[in-house]
Amino acid sequence: MDTFQIGNRLRELRENIHATQQELAEALEVSHSYYSRLEEGRRGMILKTLYRLVDYYDTDANTILNIPKKEERKRGR
């Protein structure tokens, strides 16, 4: 998974709820600069942050990482 694609997905999710990077950083208990680098695709994400994102957005890791569901992957073949 490309860090730039993940970053774009994180930005999209955040903007959908009209939150700032600072608000997300505080909710995830990370620094603003770390979160900013995630969105820019300049930093890889550790599992702890991924788990916190899943919890924050009340979704699954595939949604956060923008991985198609199994049914969608089969249709694409």
Domains and CATH numbers, the chain: 3-75 (1.10.260.40)
Q: What is the mean pLDDT of residues 48-57?
A: 98
Query: Structure pTM?
Result: 0.84
Residue 73 has pLDDT above 70, yes or no: no
Tell me the per-residue pLDDT of 7-34, one tens digit each, with 9 for 90 and over.
999 999 999 999 999 999 999 999 999 9
Contact of 73 with 18, CB cutoff 8 Å: no
* Cβ neighbour number for residue 23 with a 10 Å cutoff: 14
The predicted model gives 35-63 an average pLDDT of 96
Cα→Cα distances 39→65, 73, 76, Å:
12, 25, 27
With 70 as the cut, is the pLDDT of residue 75 above it? Answer: no
Report the percent of the chain where pLDDT is more than 70: 90
Residues 45 and 77 sit within 8 Å (Cβ to Cβ): no
The span from the CA of 36 to the CA of 30, in Å, is: 10
